[in-house]
């Protein structure tokens, strides 16, 4: 369904031009982009600032080093191989467990060592990097996402995108992998986006392929019951990335680990705008309000402000069966 420019303006929807000129161009110093475009730099920076991230098992920086991959992952039941400069989830290989000389993906597909080495070699050659430049292969520990979220995802780790503006959490959504997205939390590939209430971390709206969605297409679980655990801690972790990077407008991608809690997965200096569709609301009014706020507030104060001003009720409702007639509840004669 198409909307006119006046309708989009009335709903506070911002487009790429306004995002790029008004927010990214004004608040993001381009010299700082390498801090977020390179996931290895992001991880090392986060460690220095005490921000939790998935454990780094090792890196492969040369074609010769590819042969050390087997030794590197020995003793780890699951791990992830990903490009340091990749984007859009490309080039991420998830190994759920090791079975003898085989490496098992979440889908059950079995890979051999040669497959892993070939993948790492492709990463080094720049196959998945921004601009096709030579890259580094990162090997990370597998995220054991919170079991309460397992009914909302298919063969993948659900992640949470939080837009941070001047250190304030502005809008959030959870991305749920599906069979259509091949287990990746990528909306353009068919993942489900669920808008989240900034105050409570509950679901407000679900979309897939830009169309409303009330349940997960593969698990059938209703989205209305989605509640992000440890929500306040997650928001504070995301908001702290403002001080960590110096970037005024950025997307933080977070995950919930069952033992370590909220963790930073990666950062994006040019976050997409689909989060508005997932929330059924535009970013503009929230960004305008934050621009009027004084500088110098701490993380906890900024998060409290966002929770107070951006709280909203969701469009999703729990589906309850209609009451049965009394006769149906009585035992038959």
Q: What is the pLDDT of residue 321?
A: 39
Q: Residues 210, 242, 52, 140: what is their CA dihedral angle, to the nearest 10 degrees?
A: 60
Query: pLDDT tens digits, the chain, 333 residues: what are they?
Result: 456 666 677 779 999 999 999 999 999 999 999 999 999 999 999 999 999 999 999 999 999 999 999 999 999 989 999 999 987 778 999 999 999 999 999 888 999 999 999 999 999 999 999 888 999 999 999 998 888 888 999 888 899 999 999 999 999 999 999 988 887 888 988 999 999 999 999 999 999 998 999 999 999 999 999 999 999 999 999 999 999 999 999 999 999 999 899 999 999 999 999 999 999 999 999 999 999 999 999 999 999 999 999 998 877 765 443 344 433 334 333
Q: What is the pLDDT of residue 222?
A: 93
3-state secondary structure of 66: helix
Q: Half-sphere exposure (CA, 13 Å, Cβ side) for 188?
A: 7
Q: What is the pLDDT of residue 77?
A: 86
Backbone angles phi, psi at 190, to 5 degrees: 115, 10
Q: What is the pLDDT of residue 317?
A: 64
Q: Does residue 56 contact residue 72 with C-beta atoms inside 8 Å?
A: no
Q: How far apart are the first and last CA of the chain?
A: 55
| Global confidence as pTM | 0.89
Q: What is the pLDDT of residue 319?
A: 43
What domains sit in the chain, N to C, each tagged with a CATH number?
1-54+144-315 (3.30.470.20), 55-142 (3.30.1490)
């Amino acid at each position: 369904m198409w909307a006119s420019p006046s309708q989009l303006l009335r709903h506070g929807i911002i487009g790429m031009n306004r995002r790029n000129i008004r927010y990214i161009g004004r608040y993001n110093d381009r010299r700082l982009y390498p801090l977020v475009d390179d996931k290895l730099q992001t991880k090392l920076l986060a460690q220095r600032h005490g921000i939790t991230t998935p454990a780094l098992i090792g890196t492969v920086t040369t074609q010769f080093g590819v042969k050390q991959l087997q030794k590197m992952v020995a003793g780890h039941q699951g791990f992830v191989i990903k490009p340091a400069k990749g984007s859009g989830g490309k080039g991420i290989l998830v190994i759920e467990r090791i079975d003898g000389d085989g490496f098992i993906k979440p889908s059950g597909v079995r890979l051999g060592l040669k497959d892993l080495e070939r993948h790492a070699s492709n990463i080094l050659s720049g196959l998945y990097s921004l601009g096709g430049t030579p890259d580094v292969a990162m090997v990370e520990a597998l995220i054991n996402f919170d079991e309460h979220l397992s009914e909302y995802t298919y063969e993948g780790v659900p992640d949470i995108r939080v837009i941070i503006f001047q250190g304030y959490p502005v809008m959030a959504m959870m991305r749920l992998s599906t069979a259509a997205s091949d287990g990746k939390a990528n909306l353009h590939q068919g993942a489900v986006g669920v808008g989240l209430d900034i105050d409570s971390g509950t679901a407000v709206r679900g979309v897939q392929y830009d169309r409303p969605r009330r349940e997960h297409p593969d698990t059938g679980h209703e989205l209305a019951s989605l509640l992000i655990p440890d929500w306040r801690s997650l928001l504070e972790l995301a908001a702290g990335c403002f001080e960590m990077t110096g970037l005024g407008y950025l997307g933080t991608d977070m995950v919930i680990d069952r033992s370590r809690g909220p963790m930073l997965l990666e950062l994006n200096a040019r976050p997409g705008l689909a989060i508005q569709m997932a929330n059924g609301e535009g970013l503009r009014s929230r960004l305008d309000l934050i621009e009027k706020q004084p500088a110098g507030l701490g993380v906890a104060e900024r998060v409290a402000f966002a929770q107070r001003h951006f709280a909203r009720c969701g469009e999703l409702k729990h589906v309850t069966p209609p009451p049965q007639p009394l006769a149906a509840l009585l035992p038959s004669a």
